[in-house]
Amino acid sequence: MTSGESSTQTMPGTGRPSVRSTINFAQQADRSSASVFDMNTWQWTNMSLRGVDVPVFDARPINDELDLDVDGYRVFSHTSSVADSLDLAELDRDYHVQVGAFIKELTGARDVMPARDGLVVRHGERSGIHTGPRTDGNGERRLVQQPARFAHLDYTASSAEVFMGRVLAAEQREVAPYSRFAVFQTWRATSAPPQDNLLAVANGTTVDPDDVITFTTRMGDTAVGMPEVQARVVEHNPSQQWNYFSGMTIDEILVFKGWDSDSSRCGGLAHTAVDDPSAPEDAMPRSSVEARFFAFFE
SS3 of the chain? CCECCCCCEEECCCCEEEEEEEEEEECCCCCCCCEEEECCCHHHCCCCEEEEEEEEEECHHHHHHCCCCCCCEEEEECCCCCCCCCCHHHHHHHHHHHHHHHHHHHHCCCEEEECHHHCEEEECHHHCCCCEEEECCCCCEEEEECCCCCCEECCCHHHHHHHHHHHHHHHCCCCCCCCEEEEEEEEEECCCCCECEEEEEECCCCCCHHHEEEEEEECCCCCCCCCEEEEEEEECCCCCCEEECCCCCCCEEEEEEEEECCCCCCCCCCEEEEECCCCCCCCECCEEEEEEEEEEEC
The mean pLDDT of 125-132, rounded to a whole number, is 63
Among candidate residues 82, 79, 104, 108, the one with its CA nearest the CA of residue 94 = 82
Residue 11: inside a domain, yes or no?
no
**CB 259, CB 186: distance < 8 Å:** no
Spatial distance between the Cα atoms of 165 and 174, rounded to a whole number of angstroms: 10
Residue 108: inside a domain, yes or no?
no
Strand-pair category, 111-114 with 271-275 = unpaired
Confidence grade of residue 192 (pLDDT, cut at 50, 70, 90): very high
Q: What's the pLDDT tens digit per position in 42-52?
A: 677 777 889 99
| Percent of the chain predicted with pLDDT > 90 | 62
Strand-pair category, 228-234 with 9-11 = unpaired
Confidence grade of residue 2 (pLDDT, cut at 50, 70, 90): very low
Residue 193: inside a domain, yes or no?
yes
Q: What is the pLDDT of residue 153?
A: 96
pTM of the entire predicted model: 0.87
Among candidate residues 264, 270, 273, 258, the one with its CA nearest the CA of residue 203 = 270
For residue 269, give the amino acid letter: L
Whether residue 5 is predicted with pLDDT greater than 60 in this model: the reply is no
Residue 65: inside a domain, yes or no?
yes
**CB 156, CB 229: distance < 8 Å:** no
User: What is the rounded (10 degree) CA torsion for 202, 205, 209, 210?
Assistant: -80
Q: Phi/psi at 90 (nearest 5 deg)? A: -65, -45
Q: What is the pLDDT of residue 14?
A: 55
Q: Exposed, middle or buried, 208 (CB in 10 Å: 0-12/13-18/19+)?
A: exposed
Q: What's the pLDDT tens digit per position in 13-51?
A: 457 899 999 999 998 665 656 787 776 666 777 778 899
Number of domains in the chain: 1
Q: What is the pLDDT of residue 134?
A: 47
Among candidate residues 11, 21, 15, 16, the one with its CA nearest the CA of residue 196 = 21
Residue 92: inside a domain, yes or no?
no
Q: What is the pLDDT of residue 117?
A: 87
Residue 246: inside a domain, yes or no?
yes
Q: What is the largest CA-CA distance in the chain?
A: 53
Spatial distance between the Cα atoms of 225 and 219, rounded to a whole number of angstroms: 9
Residue 178 domain boundaries: 39-77+148-290
Confidence grade of residue 132 (pLDDT, cut at 50, 70, 90): low
Residues in contact with 210: Cβ distance below 8 Å, sequence separation at least 6, in sequence order = none
Residue 1: inside a domain, yes or no?
no
Residue 243: inside a domain, yes or no?
yes
Please give the order of strands across the beta sheet that includes 242-244.
9-11, 16-26, 49-58, 242-244, 197-202, 271-275, 152-153, 228-234, 212-218, 35-38
